[in-house]
Each structure stands twice: as structure tokens, then as C-alpha cells.
Structure 1
Amino acid sequence: MARTLSGRLLTGGLVILIGVLLLLRTTGIAETDTLWDWVPALFVLLGVWAIIRSDFRNLTGPVMVVAIAGAFLLRNLGLVSDAAIGTWWPLFLVLFGVLIVVNRSRRQRRLQHASVDADGELTAVGVFGGGDRRLSTDAFTGAEIVAVFGGVDLDLRDVSIPTPPAVVETVCLFGGSEIRVPEDWEVRIDVLALFGDASDSRPRRAKSADEADGTAEPDLVVTGLVLFGGVEVLD
């Protein structure tokens, strides 16, 4: 059931909760200052949930959410001072870099295990702009997409995956990405979407028995973080 929880539901739930807290405060029905202190805990739980849901494939975005929200939670509880956060905030950048290196190392180990070379990988970046990338290979293993105030369109319709699943990691901040895949691919989306959405918009098709009960291994897993943006899978 956890895998069916969509980005829209998460975003809607957060907006409803924040709206209720604001309403209670503005109408004077209840004092909500103490409750506001615990709001970062919701983001910590969301990050942990995203990591577990993805079978630890999705690390970069959720871990950053857990780290930043956790720091604000400790501050609200009086365990960490504003001065300490102001001094040590560059550690978030260090953590982000470490996660990128770790993900790259994990992907390289997977390449070696699959006996394919790096030609099956792709990195696409769109910052304050857009770009279209089309890949043609018989040894696709994964891709990294970064869209910041921009968009990236990735076309995978001419690729084959030697050892499924391939993993596409996305980071979309105020940006979006479209991923086009073959019609018969089974795609699983393990994206943490905060005030955004990640969806498989392909027309419905008949599923095999394994696909229907969720036991089939997907051809492609889309992971990452979406903040005020979107990721869409098309065919």
C-alpha cells in the first residue's frame, strides 16, 4: 500500500495540516505554537519513509530532507542553537556531495557486476533552461537528471536493459522532467515529491499476473526528490 501513496496525496496532506494549524491560530481556537515546533518531524518521517519504500535505492533527496528537517526539529526543541546552525550549515553541502559520490560508487559497482561499461549511463542537467537527451544503447543501466528552474526530457525508447532494473535518479527543484520509455516497460516510481508530483502518465495496458500482484521486477526505477516541480513518465 505504501508504494501507491502518491506525491499528490503527500502534498495535499501537508497543505491540509498546515492550513488547519493556521486556522486554529488565526481564529484563536487553540494555541498552536508548540505544534508548529513538531512540523519538521513530519518531513523527517517522509524522508525515512521514502528511503525504506525505495529499498534504499533512493538516498540523496530523502537523506537531505531528513538532515535539514532534523536540524530544524532539534532547533525547535532547544537542543541546537541558531548560532550552531549558522556555523555548521556547510555540512549540508558536504553531505550532499558525499551522497552524490556514494550513489556514483554504487552505480559503478552495479556496472561491474553486470559486466557492462559506462556507455550505458547518462547525466542530463537543466539549470535555468531546458534540454532533450536521447540515448540508444543495448546496455542501459541508469541515468541522473538534475532540473533546477528548468526542464529535461529524456528519451529511452531506443535502449535495452541487460540486467533490470535500471535506475534513473532525478532531482527537480522548481523544474521538471519527462522520461519516455518503451510501451512494454514496467516502471516503478520511488520519488519523494514535496509540493510537486511524480507520475506514470502512460495509457493503461494489460498486466501480467506478476505485475498485477506486485511481484514482477520492474524494468526501470525512478528515484530522487521533487520540490515544487514534477517528473512524468511517458511512452
Structure 2
Amino acid sequence: MLGLRSDRLVTGGLIILVGVLLLLSTTDALPTESLWDFFPAVFIVLGLWALVRSGFRNLTGPVMVIAIASTYQAKALGYVTDEHIGTWWPLFVVLFGVLVLVGRNRRARRAVSTSTSDAGTVSLVSLFSGTQRRVTGSGFRGGDIFVAFGGAELDLRDADVPADPADVECLVAFGGAELNVPDDWRVELEVLSIFGGSEDERPRRSGEVAGDGPDLVVTGLALFGGVTVSP
């Protein structure tokens, strides 16, 4: 629930900031032209905050937000032109691919250290459609979910994780990702939400020990979308 509250605070704060700037502009109460030039910096700070909050476990979403926002901040300050962006924008695709490989390499190293196999990982891609996947058995290490204008559902209720927590990275834009997990799993949500949200909808377990480590860590980015953990 802490992740949900912080996500709502961040999203609400961004909306309030935009509203205040628009109000100042429409009422001529304060010149705001120069302030808008620094608006991309808000997303840079947001990405850095997500990195630190997750202990640098959440890489892909925050780093992509930082990279894109930094580019447009440089453009607003006159260091980068539209022509530069039009020429070099494929570098964002390269960066995205590198970050995905880094995430999978992390899971692979943990799999080797715990004598499990890559069979314990899963990848879901949903573009303008819906997809479902069910994982059963022991040795689940994690995976990645990519959703754009669609939905994805990952059912982990019959899965088991080794001693170390499994991690699932969700990149959701204009859609939703749902993870069905056992009621007794401890889940940490480290999803960076921009005009979206992440929520653990399971009822809180009685007698839960605050110091217990997580069974599952969910990271990633929700842009105009949502990531939900449900029973």
C-alpha cells in the first residue's frame, strides 16, 4: 500500500503542478514562459527518485524516462535541436534493448547462483490485444511484461520461488498488466507510475512480519496504465 500511496502522491503532484502553471499563465499572475522550459526536469527528478527508491532494482522504466526527459530538457535550453532528435532518436531504442538485456542478465546470474534454470523465466508481449500466461512448478525466477494499448495477465498462483525473490519487470503504456499471486507471498511494488498506478489488491495478511523479505519484486513503468497484483 505504501507504493500505491507514493504513486498517487507523485501523479497527483504532477497534475497539480501543471494546473498551477496553467492557472498562472491564464491569469497573467506570473510570467511562466521560462518556467515551462524546465518542466522536463520534473520527469528527470521523478526517474532518479524511482531509481533510488527501488535500490536500483528498477532500471528500464526510470532510465528511459530520464533519458527522454533529459533530451527534451536539453532541447528547451537550446543545446539540442529538433533536427538532432529526428536523427538520433533510434538511440532510445538501442538503450531500451540494452536495459532489457541487463535485466535478463541479472535474472540469469541469480538463476545460476541458486542452481535453477532459465526455464523459470517468462516473457509476455501484448500489442493492441490481450495475452495470458500461467506458470506452474518451482524455480520461478521472474520475467518481463510489455504492454501497449492492450492487457496482459500472468498467473503465478501455482508457482514457487527459490530462496531469493523473483522479479517481474512491467512496461505498460495505455493498458494494464495483472499478476495473480498466492495470498501468502510478500510482494514489493517498485513501479514508476506516470499518470497511471500500481496496486496490490490482495487483503493484508494477519500476523505478517514487517522484516520478512519479499517473495516477488515488481518493477517497471506504468504510463497512462496500471500494474495490479491480485489473488
Q: Distance in 1 between matches of 2:126 and 2:4?
A: 29
2:163 partner SS: coil
Contact 1:38 1:73 in 2 (8 A): yes
Matching residue within 218, 222, 225 for 1:229: 225
Letter in 2 for 1:176: G
Contact 1:3 1:53 in 2 (8 A): no
Q: Distance in 2 between matches of 1:4 and 1:61?
A: 17
Partner of 2:129: 129
Judging changes above 3 Å, is the alpha-carbon distance between structure 1 residues 36 and 133 closer, same or farther for their aligned structure 2 residues? Answer: same
1:145 aligns with 2:160: no
Judging changes above 3 Å, is the alpha-carbon distance between structure 1 residues 231 and 31 closer, same or farther for their aligned structure 2 residues? Answer: same
Deviations along 1:128-180, whole A, 9 cap, x unmatched?
Answer: 11012111021001021111111011110101111231001001110101111
| CA positional deviation for 1:204 | 2.0
1:80 aligns with 2:80: yes
Aligned-residue sequence identity (percent) comes to: 53
Deviations along 1:5-25, whole A, 9 cap, x unmatched?
Answer: 522221111011001100110
Partner of 1:33: 33
Letter in 2 for 1:41: A
> Aligned residue pairs: how many?
230
Tell me, which stretches of 5 or more residues in structure 2 are unaligned? none
1:6 partner SS: helix
Letter in 2 for 1:103: G
| CA positional deviation for 1:29 | 0.8
Structure 1 vs Structure 2 CA RMSD:
1.4
| TM-score (norm: length of structure 2) | 0.95
Letter in 2 for 1:60: T
Give the 5 Å matches for 1:17-96.
17-96=17-96
Q: Distance in 2 between matches of 1:200 and 1:4?
A: 8
Contact 1:151 1:177 in 2 (8 A): yes
Tell me, which stretches of 5 or more residues in structure 1 are unaligned? none
Deviations along 1:19-67, whole A, 9 cap, x unmatched?
Answer: 1100110111111111111111110011111111111111111100000
Partner of 1:163: 163
Partner of 2:213: 217
